[in-house]
Structure 1
Amino acid sequence: MSFKTQFRAILGSTALAAASALPGYATELHILHFNDFHSRVEPINRFNSTCSAGDEAEGKCFGGAARLFTLINQMRDAITAEGNPVLVLSAGDESQGSLYFTTYGGAVEAEMNLRIGLDAMAVGNHEFDNGPEGLLVFADQDQYPIVAANIDVSQNNLLAGRIVPWAILETGGLRVGIVGALTEDTPDIASPGPTIAFSSAVESVARSVEELHAEGVTTIIALTHVGYVGEQRIAAEVPGLTAVVGGHSHTYLSASDPRREGPYPTWVDNVDGSIVPVVQAGAYSRYLGHLILDLDDEGKLIYATGDTIEINAEVTPDPEIAAWVATLAGPIEETRSELVSEAVEAIDGDRTTCRAMECTMGNLVTDAMLARVAGQGITIAIQNGGGLRASIGDGTITMGNVLEVLPFQNTLATFELTGEYVVAALENGVSQIEEGAGRFAQVGGLTYAFDASAPAGSRVSDVMVMREGAWVPIDPAATYGLVTNDYVRNGGDGYAVFRDHATNAYDFGPDLADVLAEYLAEHNPYQPYTDGRITVK
């Protein structure tokens, strides 16, 4: 369905919903929402990396700040003109993913929110990639609240008083409570530091809902960065919610697209006997979610409709925002335009594959790691799938492409570990596969199988390593040389086994992006491949 068709159909649903509303229908609240923007300030291609000028000219680009600005303002104006209240919400992870974040540290994304006129933002885990300072970039304004009920920032001198558990927004005469929550494993997957405490998302949201009820608010939106599975849990276990608007898992929900990962909205039975709609809108600014909530005269939910809208080439970029982005691009253009190599075929770095099975990007990165430390006694490479942030299309590969795949400025880390703990690390990698967690282990110099239906902790089998030119079973008592990135080596993504049991560790090797660029240059043109190193049972 084209953008124009979607736009007309969804806005047209206003009159249809009003005509068919149940008795007691009083208000139609519209929620425009996006999540996991990940610094895609410029338009993206179908691989979620920066779109080329040629693809832009051919109408093959999606999203970007200028198109997002256009669509939000068009829809907000149209909804307001019909006399309906509307809110614009971000479900977090606006940070990290392009050279704009690497260069400007989140200031561009924060400015974009102000230009758009955001009404509220949830904290995402990647807002902590630069420590508390990374979130401060967004919090250092007073035009919209930043919400997270399950973190305590009172002991942090930068953020104390700037992040709130909930807020009350007024729109069109309606009071709407916005409750935030953040994935509880943020200390394992980002860098919030020791002064920020985390607690249960479900319990914290429930407590905030009770506080909002005490304030006389009955329309309550949970704006969360917990993931599709966790957000359905919140919708099921927290009484009094009107809807859950989420992020973190990049889940593409749709009411109309058969490619969807779930229905928009996804209905969840709540313990109080109600049903609660849960929505997400993919990621990388490719989609804008539009949730329509029919409310009775007490502000309680009667029904919900809506859909995600693809922000494709039919959306005209706002010229002022486009010019602003072009100015910002100046200092980074030389770096990202540097030619690195050629790809014979597209290299798949999509999260749906790299967090669930062997993927071509995982093979490329782990092969590059091993090549860089050849001759150092290192035989096994492990890369967390969540550290791979984009695919690369066929044809020319630039440094900009490489930095979109590996934007975290991680360094190469080497260490020694017994076979017993190598297997434990692989178990960690598949322990949260149901949730699409980033800890999934892409590997080199090692093969393994796993059964996702088995209990976590006993899913991995058939671990083989190379010895004297042949694959042999891993020896639990033997010591092996490993290479990974410094984030994982120091316990990130649940790899505490690397932090606690590694010996002879060295975390200060070259930047992983530079390692990958050098490997691609040496293997030009590069042919992506899989070879069965990870088997799904």
Structure 2
Amino acid sequence: MNKRKVHRFGATFAVASAIVLAGGSVDAAEQWYTDVSKDNTHYEAIKALTDQQIIRGYSENQFKPGHSIERRHAALILAKLGDFEEPTDVADVLKKFKDISGDSFYAKEMATLANANVFKGDSNGNFKPTAALTRQQMANVLVNALDLEKYDTGKKVEINLSNVGESHRRGVQILANLGLTDQLSDFRPNEPVTRGAFSSFIHRANQLQPSDFTLSLMHMNDTHARVAEMPKAITAIKEVRNDKPDALLLHGGDVFSGTLYFSEFEGQADLELMNLMGLDAMVFGNHEFDLGDSKNGHQSLANFVKGANFPVIGTNIDFSKDPALKNLVSKTEFTSTPALGEIHKGLIKEVNGEKVGIFGLTTESTAFVASPGAVEFLDYKESAEKAVAYFESQGVNKIISINHLGFDSDPSVGNDLLLAQAVEGIDIIVGGHSHTKLSEPVIVDKNASGESKDPTVIVQADQYLTHLGTLDVEFDKQGVITGHAGELISLKDKVNDAEAAEALLKYSGKIDETFGKEIGATLEVDLPNPRSRGEENITESVRANETALGNLITDGMLEKAKEYDPKAVIALQNGGGIRNHLDKGQVTVGAVIEVLPFGNTLSLVTLTGEEIKNTLEHSVRNSPNEEGGFLHMSGMKITFDSSKEVGQRIQTMQVKMNGEFVDVEMDKEYVVTTNAFTARGGDGFKVLEEAYENGRVTDLGLDDWVNLRDHMIKLGTVKPEIEGRIIDLNT
């Protein structure tokens, strides 16, 4: 999978050691050749190739430009400059020649060129390694070894071919067409090519290589039904395209779930606005699979894919068992002409004449953090390796992975950093899932063992369309990154795009009507919903700490559960399911829905004290790092120590019984309420999954946001606080 550092006579010729055009070993840096003056016809070429450490002279500080070059030395040079696979059995390849073997000087290089049909030998089966290479032979080997024909426009230059051997006329004609020779009246085809002339031919061929390439792109991720922000985003996209019309636009997944726009329109409002953006590709996020357990399964997702005027990619996803999605999977896994309404594993885009490979990975944790039903998620590293191998087999050396893995998320299911270290050949990672605000791109230039590797640039643009990310990446001729620049453009102060604002009206009227209704409760304090943001917020997160909002939600869950089963004593809510904050003042329907947007229902499950402990151990297994399965609670309080081994972190557990907190007893049973997603084993809660499979879970069918609304209405004046329900003893 390693990307080769030498492709097609690149400008820098990044070879491991200097190549000797026959003879000695004088370093270029030591002194110049005594027999090559500035008046020499080949001075410029010899100087350039010497400076690049492609050629050296003889030990007596001579280059001997007028000496002929032997065929074996030509093979040595071209094997280094071209992009060839070295044969595994050199001796076996050379059996076709009578005069060389695996023990010959430069056997590996001669075998490499013979294996690539660059050198074919004479009619008697001889390679003639020490024979001088003739000019017409040189024409053919240069054209074949360096793939010069791809630069030939087909417009023939008049050249005398009467004295050129028939098998060499194609090569000589191409050299003429490309301006690599001015010997048009007499190419002198049978004369030996000199060392100086060979240098000039290589140097001229190098000038044909396109200049270094800059790829520009825009990116967004985790937009979560923030349809109202899309007109501003479209304005920013158009502004970038005014300066960079060829910039790609990529989406890192999670369009579904998050606001009333999704609850009402299930992706269609998002789709109409996204179709105005000119997206080049989007990867499936885990929340695209939130409706798998609903009555209609993944039909809403299928409708989204079918209506998209951009490709939606799932490189590591198996849709074959899902009735709504399986027929949308293209028979062409990787394509340069994606069919709209179909799902592909990857794309090849042509940007300014350069091929760019794009594939997309979705977190394997989708299996337990969403409701994917029959959709399966494959190993992300293996899928990435296969994608890179395919692109490289097609001559693509600029490769983008759109990831919904998370920047530094749970390593047990993978993340961007681990992928960049593990899989060679990925140049750019456009991230999502962790909602990470990378104000500047992150560079990974070492593998997991700490060894140097070609750089990978990672970007991610926060969340909820607060920013549009931009990135410019410079590639050298070998497809290796040589420079980059990236930033996040704030969308807060952008004006709405007129066309997008008009399209939004189709949906916003219904949303405004419902969204703005006050529920009849007053919040006396702001209730933030913090996520870790590095230096901006290093201590608090809804996915790692007790929050006042988490307490309010779980109190409402427990209150509602007790109406159905008075034995209910504990409520648990996963932090990943709490999606927005609440502002001080009158609370509206829309605000409550945005806090709990996933349409979950309330469930009851009976667990032993030991099962509760195992569940809570899973909750804090990644502490103090963020974890979507971190559980907020009501009716109990715990202490844990994040410095201890996973599975041994919970120190105390107390449950409120008859108005007092008492220790949880390991063999006693307790009625617990949680949302249906968690109750079925979401977020990897194996204990709860087993309870569900054993028929111990009862779904009450009560919408979670309705429970929260009713609890706040009952309170009237709302002022929850952090009460020490969850304490990390290691902080």
1:72 aligns with 2:237: yes
1:344 aligns with 2:524: yes
Q: Which residue of 2 aligns with 1:144?
A: 310
CA shift for structure 1 position 277:
1.4
Matches within 5 A, 1:351-366: 351-352=531-532, 353-366=541-554
CA shift for structure 1 position 434:
6.2
Describe the superposition over 1:432-462 as per-residue Cα deviations: whole angstroms up to 9, x where unpaired.
4466331110011111123333333222221
- Report which stretch shifted further, 157-166 or 349-358: 157-166
Alpha-carbon distance between aligned partners in 2 of 1:170 and 1:430, rounded to the nearest angstrom: 46
1:369 aligns with 2:530: no
Q: Which residue of 2 aligns with 1:396?
A: 586
Matches within 5 A, 1:53-452: 64-80=229-245, 85-131=246-292, 132-141=298-307, 143-159=309-325, 160-161=329-330, 162-194=342-374, 196-229=375-408, 230-255=415-440, 264-270=441-447, 273-313=453-493, 315-340=494-519, 341-352=521-532, 353-374=541-562, 376-433=566-623, 436-452=626-642
Q: Which residue of 2 aligns with 1:461?
A: 651
**Matched pairs, number:** 480
1:40 aligns with 2:226: yes
Q: Which residue of 2 aligns with 1:261?
A: none
Alpha-carbon distance between aligned partners in 1 of 2:351 and 2:569, rounded to the nearest angstrom: 60
What amino acid does structure 2 have at the position aligned with 1:33? H
Alpha-carbon distance between aligned partners in 1 of 2:483 and 2:491, rounded to the nearest angstrom: 26
CA shift for structure 1 position 338:
1.7
- Report which stretch shifted further, 126-135 or 231-240: 126-135
What amino acid does structure 2 have at the position aligned with 1:124? G
Match of 2:700 among 491, 508, 528: 508
Alpha-carbon distance between aligned partners in 1 of 2:445 and 2:720, rounded to the nearest angstrom: 41
* Structure 2 gaps, min length 5: 1-51, 53-209, 293-297, 331-341, 409-414, 533-540
CA shift for structure 1 position 275:
2.2
CA shift for structure 1 position 399:
0.5
Describe the superposition over 1:92-119 as per-residue Cα deviations: whole angstroms up to 9, x where unpaired.
0011101111111111222222110000
Alpha-carbon distance between aligned partners in 1 of 2:238 and 2:654, rounded to the nearest angstrom: 55
1:268–1:124: structure 2 CA closer, same or farther, 3 Å change rule? farther
Alpha-carbon distance between aligned partners in 2 of 1:326 and 1:227, rounded to the nearest angstrom: 33
* Structure 1 gaps, min length 5: 1-22, 43-63, 256-263
Higher relative contact order (CA 8 A, sep 6+): 1
> 8 Å contact 1:232–1:268 — kept in the other structure?
no
> 8 Å contact 1:100–1:108 — kept in the other structure?
yes
1:312–1:29: structure 2 CA closer, same or farther, 3 Å change rule? same
- Report which stretch shifted further, 316-325 or 229-238: 316-325
CA shift for structure 1 position 120:
0.4
1:269–1:141: structure 2 CA closer, same or farther, 3 Å change rule? farther
> 8 Å contact 2:273–2:503 — kept in the other structure?
no
* Counterpart secondary structure, 2:464: coil
CA shift for structure 1 position 164:
1.8
What amino acid does structure 2 have at the position aligned with 1:470? E
Alpha-carbon distance between aligned partners in 2 of 1:339 and 1:142, rounded to the nearest angstrom: 35
What amino acid does structure 2 have at the position aligned with 1:149? T
CA shift for structure 1 position 209:
0.3
* Counterpart secondary structure, 2:429: strand
* Counterpart secondary structure, 1:493: helix
1:185–1:473: structure 2 CA closer, same or farther, 3 Å change rule? same
Alpha-carbon distance between aligned partners in 2 of 1:217 and 1:425, rounded to the nearest angstrom: 47
CA shift for structure 1 position 517:
0.5
* Counterpart secondary structure, 1:228: coil
Alpha-carbon distance between aligned partners in 1 of 2:385 and 2:347, rounded to the nearest angstrom: 14
> 8 Å contact 2:367–2:376 — kept in the other structure?
no
Q: Which residue of 2 aligns with 1:521?
A: 713
Alpha-carbon distance between aligned partners in 1 of 2:645 and 2:237, rounded to the nearest angstrom: 44
What amino acid does structure 2 have at the position aligned with 1:191? S
* Counterpart secondary structure, 1:361: helix
> 8 Å contact 2:469–2:487 — kept in the other structure?
yes
CA shift for structure 1 position 139:
1.8
* Counterpart secondary structure, 1:139: helix
What amino acid does structure 1 have at the position aligned with 2:616? L
What amino acid does structure 2 have at the position aligned with 1:153? F
1:266–1:388: structure 2 CA closer, same or farther, 3 Å change rule? farther
1:389–1:268: structure 2 CA closer, same or farther, 3 Å change rule? farther
Alpha-carbon distance between aligned partners in 2 of 1:467 and 1:432, rounded to the nearest angstrom: 30
Structure-2-length-normalised TM-score: 0.63
Alpha-carbon distance between aligned partners in 1 of 2:461 and 2:445, rounded to the nearest angstrom: 17
1:495 aligns with 2:685: yes
> 8 Å contact 1:265–1:304 — kept in the other structure?
no
CA shift for structure 1 position 171:
2.1
Rg larger in 1 or in 2? 2
CA shift for structure 1 position 272:
6.3
Alpha-carbon distance between aligned partners in 2 of 1:253 and 1:460, rounded to the nearest angstrom: 33
> 8 Å contact 2:656–2:662 — kept in the other structure?
yes
Alpha-carbon distance between aligned partners in 1 of 2:322 and 2:601, rounded to the nearest angstrom: 28
Describe the superposition over 1:343-395 as per-residue Cα deviations: whole angstroms up to 9, x where unpaired.
11111223441101001111000011111233611110100001101001111
Describe the superposition over 1:135-163 as per-residue Cα deviations: whole angstroms up to 9, x where unpaired.
32332147322222211223434333232
- Report which stretch shifted further, 228-237 or 520-529: 520-529
> 8 Å contact 1:265–1:305 — kept in the other structure?
no
What amino acid does structure 1 have at the position aligned with 2:244? I
CA shift for structure 1 position 268:
4.6
Alpha-carbon distance between aligned partners in 1 of 2:643 and 2:379, rounded to the nearest angstrom: 26
Name the structure where strand makes up a greater proportion of residues.
1
1:33–1:378: structure 2 CA closer, same or farther, 3 Å change rule? same
* Counterpart secondary structure, 1:254: coil
What amino acid does structure 1 have at the position aligned with 2:470? H
1:129–1:169: structure 2 CA closer, same or farther, 3 Å change rule? same
Alpha-carbon distance between aligned partners in 1 of 2:484 and 2:389, rounded to the nearest angstrom: 23
Structure-1-length-normalised TM-score: 0.86
Alpha-carbon distance between aligned partners in 2 of 1:374 and 1:75, rounded to the nearest angstrom: 55
Describe the superposition over 1:42-77 as per-residue Cα deviations: whole angstroms up to 9, x where unpaired.
1xxxxxxxxxxxxxxxxxxxxx01000000111012
Alpha-carbon distance between aligned partners in 1 of 2:699 and 2:522, rounded to the nearest angstrom: 30
